[in-house]
Amino acid sequence: MRVLIVGGAGYIGSHMVWLLGEKGVELVTLDNLSGGYRDAVSYGNFVHGDISDRLILDQVFSDYKFDVVMHFASYIQVGESVRNPAKYYQNNVSNTLNLLNSMVAHGVNKFIFSSTAAIFGEPKYTPIDEGHPKQPINPYGRSKFMIEEVLSDYRNSYGLNSVCLRYFNAAGAHPDGMIGERHDPETHLIPLVLQAASGRRSGITLYGSDYDTPDGTCIRDYVHVMDLAEAHWLAIKYLFGGGESTAFNLGNGAGYSVNEVIKSAERITGRSISIIQGERRDGDPARLVADSSKIKAQLGWDPRFSDLDTIVKHAWNWEKNR
C-alpha cells in the first residue's frame, strides 16, 4: 500500500505519518510548510509543494502510484474564516478540488477527508450523531461541508470512494512527546493552558463563565490525536475492504468543561494557572459532544486515551520537550 498524505507535516497529519510508518506503509507527504514542520515528518518521502499547483500534483501522481490519499491541509481557524472567508474558500474548497481532480485524472479512487463538527452549526441536541442537521454558521464549517457534498457527487460520477471523519476537539500528543501540537498562533485550549503552566504565557483567558453547564464554562469533546490517527487507519482498511462512501463522527462521547481542563492541567503539571476573566465569544455553544457509536460499531474503533488527564499528560510531555 502507498499513501499520499497531504498536510502530513501538520499536527494531526504528522501523527498519521508516524502511525502508518510504524505499520510499514509506504508514504509520501506533500506539504507547503505554511503551518507544518519538516522535522515532524518521521517516515517516507517528502515533497514540498501546494495543492493549489496542478503541475506539482500531476508530477507527484505521475512519480508515484497511490492507493489512497489523505487530506489534512485545510485552514482551521473559525475566527479567521469569518474575517477572511476568501482564504478559506480558496484553500479548503478550490485547492481541494484540484486535489480531487488530480486523483480522478490519475485513477486514484480512495480518499480520507478530515472534516469537522463545525458542519453541524449550533447543536439541536447532544450528543451529536451523523444524522444531526448540517447548518454550519461560519465559512470554515461551510467550506468543509461543501467538500462533503462534492465527495458525494464525485462518488456518483467518478467512482471516487471516500470516508469523511468529522473531528470534534483534537487534543494531546504522541505519548512519548516526540511530536505534538504547535500551531502559530495557537488557538486550542489544552496547549494554551499548558503554555500558561510552563511560563510561556502569563495565564489563560476564560471566555464566559455563565453558560448553562454545571460549572458555567463551555463543554467540549476532546479526542486524543493518536486515537484520531487510528480511526483514519480503520477508514483506510474499510475502503480497501470494499466499503462505500460514508462519514463518521469522532469524539470521546464525554465532554469536559474549560474549568475541568484547567484543573486537570494543574494536577498533571503540579503548577497553578492564572485565569483571566473574559467575555463570551459569539457563536460559542455551551456544549459540543459527539455520538461516535457509528464508527465504533462499524469499524471497531476503540479509543485508547479517552481520559482527560491522559490527554493532558501527553500534551504536557510535548510542551516540556519544547
Same domain, 82 and 197: no
**Other CB atoms closer than 10 Å to residue 77's CB: what's the count?**
16
Tell me which residue range forms the domain holding 293: 172-221+253-321
Same domain, 6 and 148: yes
Neighbouring-strand partners of residue 5: 29, 70
Amino acid 185: pLDDT: 85
Same domain, 183 and 242: no
Domain CATH number, residue 269 = 3.90.25.10
Same domain, 69 and 198: no
**Other CB atoms closer than 10 Å to residue 60's CB: what's the count?**
21
Amino acid 142: pLDDT: 97
Dihedral sign, Cα of residue 12, residue 237, residue 99, residue 247:
negative
Amino acid 70: pLDDT: 98
Same domain, 102 and 178: no
Domain CATH number, residue 108 = 3.40.50.720
Same domain, 104 and 184: no
Same domain, 64 and 109: yes
What are the per-10-residue average pLDDT scores of the chain (322 residues)? Answer: 97 98 98 96 98 97 98 93 96 98 98 97 95 95 98 98 97 96 91 96 94 95 98 98 97 94 98 94 86 98 96 97 84
Backbone angles phi, psi at 247, to 5 degrees: -140, 145
Same domain, 131 and 182: no
Catalytic residue among 75, 88, 140, 211: 140
**Residue 37 a catalytic site member:** no
DSSP 8-state class, residue 178: S
Amino acid 253: pLDDT: 87
pLDDT tens column, 189-224: 999 999 999 999 999 999 999 999 999 999 999 999
> Grid coordinates representing 68?
489512497
User: Which residue from 235, 233, 230 is spatially nearest to 248, judged by alpha carbons?
Assistant: 235
Neighbouring-strand partners of residue 143: none
Task: Work out how many domains the chain is built from and give that number.
Answer: 2
